Chains A and B, each alone.
Chain A
Amino acid sequence: MEPIRPGQPGRSGPPGPPSPAAEQGPGETDLDALLALVAGGDQAAFETVYDRVAPPVFGLIRRVLRDSAQAEEVAQEALLEVWRTAGRFDPARGTAITWVLTIAHRRAVDRVRSESASAQREARVATADVAAGDEVADTVAASLEAERVRHCLDGLTDLQRESITLAYYSGYSYPQVATALGVALGTIKTRIRDGLKRLRDCLGVSW
């Protein structure tokens, strides 16, 4: 990931400019082009892709699974899926980093929802979910990107923020989110949707 340039405006409050996150710096091949090379079996290109995406892939999966050993296993599966299916990446449907992180998140969520993993995980989740909204700050305070996301999450209502973080960072289905927060299903759907709109606009996401 590219370090955030000093003096860039919009870091202090919403709405900010489009995020530079995961864009390539000058002189670097962009991820789209690298994935095309990977689709053709280029192992050197894949190593570059690995170096670029492994930190968010691993970090996100560990965040969802709350277990480093399992996270490493699932991250390995996700990164091999990137290798095997790079030819299916379609730039018209979203950015390369979104494609990669979608694979990673789905794999993490699948693992969370699989029966074998659920029992061990219950215990870890039980203590951690109370402060779901605060975890962003706890685990990733060092990163400016994380700070920006944290800032925008703070701009949501409590229910929007809790719904989104439970769904995304804890891998809850929306009915599980509804149960955990004691709110009607329909309410959760709209809170997630409205919260994501606000987050999207605050982060200045381009798509």
Chain B
Amino acid sequence: MRIGGITIGRGPHDLAGAYALDALDSAESTRFERHLSSCRTCPDLVRGFAATATELGLAAAAPPPPSLKAAVLGAVGALSSARDVDEAIASVLSAPDARIVSGATTAGGTATVVATPRGRAMVFTSSGLPVLPPTSVYEVWFIGSGGARPAGLVPPALPDIAGTTVPLHASGLTAGDVVGVTVEPAGGVRAPTTTPIVVLTLRA
């Protein structure tokens, strides 16, 4: 469909070309978009102009530096795993058998666990735990009849939310487990080396 040849009078649709080339400021652009919804001929005109601008863009193609691909795919991987973690956390929080247990730690602050025994997973968060030197870390454990199994390191506190730590998702929860937290060397260890500052019993 071609609109070429039609004489278009003065008015907002004179701006269709400038709009398609991003040559309007944001206020004009918003005004033009409002006009677009009520203008019979404009949408086709703008589509054709946008497709024409695309040809101008394709003509400027140039090989990007390899570092661009590494940066973009790296960021996408990170965003993607963050999304996976968010989804895993959401599924624990919304599990039909989800239960929440909270307790004060001997070091100060509060530890909180939301667990789904059926989903064999939990989410751990805390608030007000004392900030550790960079050489130490809070480590979370599933503690059952067979001993303690690592459930992950407590992530850093969120900025400006009263020392609340980023939720930690851990799977591998088994029936009868309690959840404990110890202070360990940075990087974490395979088995606890200190006495837990808090132990949370899920069936309480």
Contact = CB atoms under 8 A, between A and B. Distances in A.
Interface of A: 1, 19, 21-22, 41, 43, 46-47, 50, 54-60, 62-63, 68, 72, 75-76, 79-80, 83-84, 93-95, 97-98, 101-102, 104-106, 109, 136, 139-140, 143, 145-146, 148-150, 164, 167-169, 171-174, 177, 186, 188-190, 192-197, 199-201, 203, 205-207
A201 B49 CA distance: 10
Contacts of B76: 43, 46, 80, 83
B10, B65, B77, most chain A CB atoms within 10 A: B65
6 contacts: A58-B62, A58-B65, A58-B68, A79-B72, A190-B14, A206-B51
The prevalent SS among residues of A at the interface is: helix
Interface of B: 2-4, 8, 10, 14-18, 20-25, 44, 47-65, 67-69, 71-73, 75-77, 79-80, 83
A84 B15 CA distance: 30
The prevalent SS among residues of B at the interface is: helix
A98 B61 contact: no
Nearest to B52: A200
A76 B71 contact: yes
A121 to B, nearest CB: 16
A75 B4 contact: no
Contacts of B83: 41
Contacts of B54: 22, 95, 97-98, 101-102, 205
A19 B75 CA distance: 33
A169 B56 contact: yes
A36 B68 CA distance: 23
Contacts of B16: 193
Given A76-B71, A83-B79, A201-B2, A56 B52 contact: no
B68 A140 contact: no
A14 B138 CA distance: 70
A205 B100 CA distance: 60
Given A46-B76, A196-B17, A201-B4, A59 B61 contact: yes
Given A19-B55, A101-B53, 4 more contacts: A50-B72, A58-B68, A193-B8, A196-B21
A177 B51 contact: no
A145 B62 contact: no
A72 B65 contact: yes
B72 A140 contact: no
Contacts of A84: 79
A102 B21 CA distance: 9
A101 B23 contact: no
Given A105-B57, A145-B58, A98 B64 contact: no
Contact of A167 (B8, B21, B59): B21
A193 B17 contact: yes
A193 B8 CA distance: 10
A150 B62 CA distance: 16
Given A50-B69, A58-B68, A173-B23, A143 B51 contact: no
Contacts of B47: 93-94, 207
Nearest to A98: B54
A98 to B, nearest CB: 4
Given A58-B68, A98-B50, A193-B14, A203 B55 contact: yes
Nearest to B63: A55
Nearest to A191: B17
A101 B4 contact: no
